[in-house]
Amino acid sequence: MTEKAHAKVNIFLKITGTRGNYHLIASRFVTLPDLYDTLRFLPKEKPDPHFILKGKFGCQTEQNSIYKVYRLLSEYTGNKKIEDFFHHHEVVVTKQIPEFAGLGGGSSDAAAFLRLCNRILSLKIATETLAQIGAQIGADVPFFIYRYPSANVSGIGEIVTPFEEEIPKLKTFTPPVQCNTAAVYRQFRQNISGQRLTENENLAKTLLQQKSSEILQTYEPETLNDLYPAALALYPKLKTYAAKDRFFSGSGSTFFTTGEA
């Protein structure tokens, strides 16, 4: 009873508008095949009604994406066998994906939990429905539910379209800086204008059609990720690690390069 939860990077991330407190995005998500957390469901020593989650997390269980999606799944199905199963089993996560790093670790863990429950408990929930459940706790979760190697992601993250391409070999580097996603988005929003959003939308239309390798050869890191300048403003230490050939994933703090760089 094991499931891998892979990390991702954003080849580009353009903010094209807002929807209430949410941001509309146009992005290319690419799965990292060699960087993943591992989820396991293991028998408890004795039955216990508490949901037990073990792993090196920077938050309490109640704030963890896995616990949140467990509650949502239980509520959606109304199926008592889910709660009964976790009376007898605990969730153990071997963490490899850095937290607060723009790699989607929490969202990927949540998606892996949903997939594993669906398989082990024979819930027979459609993939699209799992994505809708996951989207309620994180905008990146639908991408990880679908498990596409490469995809264009839009809306607030709920629209995921597979993109056929040969993905370039990527190397990641996560400096000792933890970026708060909500804070980075707030910083971005303070300095955005309607004209800039229109420009972003126009560029996004081009980027969504281009292959990732072409994009990384053509554009500067600051052009590709709208959150990069905001993260630099909030976390000046990031400038120590910035370079022309280092691209920035999500809200950070991870940088990535192509294999040739």
Look at the alpha carbons of 50, 51, 53, 58 in this order and tell me if their dihedral is positive or negative. Answer: negative
For residue 124, give both structure tokens: 């027979």
**57/237 Cα distance (integer angstroms):** 23
Tokens 């040969």 label which residue?
166
- Among the listed residues 4, 8, 14, 48, the single catalytic one is 8
- Among the listed residues 37, 109, 140, 226, the single catalytic one is 140
Active-site residue flag, 4: no
249 preceded by cis ω (within 30°)?
no
User: What is the Cα gyration radius of the chain?
Assistant: 19
Active-site residue flag, 244: no
For residue 187, give both structure tokens: 């910083």
For residue 96, give both structure tokens: 């490899």
CA-closest candidate to residue 142, choices 123, 163, 128: 128
Q: Which residue numbers are catalytic?
A: 8, 140
